[in-house]
């Protein structure tokens, strides 16, 4: 699969609610993920737990949509729209851009950019 196919499959899995399965399939063991300017989370195991915690705290999920995808040299960028209610953060409706750097078919670094 080329990078376009990989990111499309990843996005499809996320839209189907298969977030944990997508992490297992597409994220490198040494992945670094970062939310805006927050401290990065290092390693697949730590990021898996971070995602589980987020999922457990979502009390209502109203929708997600891929708005745009860009593919470059070992990098993809996905513009997302999210609408959900989180137990601690309340109602969240926002656009986010995920910049993903790939190595051998796996995401090695991902950073999320969105308004606060």
Number of domains comprising the chain: 1
Check pLDDT > 90 for residue 7: yes
Q: What string of DSSP letters covers the chain?
A: --HHHHHHHHHHHHHTT-HHHHHHHHEEEEEEEEETTSPPEESHHHHHHHHHHHHHHEEEEEEEEEEEEEE-SSEEEEEEEEEEEETTTEEEEEEEEEEEEEETTEEEEEEEEE--
We report the CATH number of the domain holding residue 75 as 3.10.450.50
Mean pLDDT of 23-44: 97
pLDDT, tens digit (0-9, with 9 covering 90-100), for 99-116 = 999 999 999 999 999 986
Q: What is the pTM of this model?
A: 0.92
Domain enclosing residue 50, as ranges:
3-114
């Amino acid at each position: 699969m080329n990078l376009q196919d990989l990111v499309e499959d990843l996005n499809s899995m996320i839209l189907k609610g298969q977030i944990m399965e997508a992490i297992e399939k597409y994220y490198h063991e040494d992945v670094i993920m970062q939310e805006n300017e927050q401290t990065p989370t290092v390693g697949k195991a730590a990021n898996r737990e971070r995602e589980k915690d987020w999922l457990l705290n979502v009390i209502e999920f109203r929708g997600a949509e891929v708005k745009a995808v860009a593919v470059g040299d070992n990098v993809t960028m996905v513009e997302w729209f999210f609408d959900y209610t989180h137990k601690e953060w309340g109602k969240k409706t926002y656009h986010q851009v995920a910049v993903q750097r790939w190595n051998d078919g796996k995401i090695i670094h991902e950073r999320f950019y969105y308004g606060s």
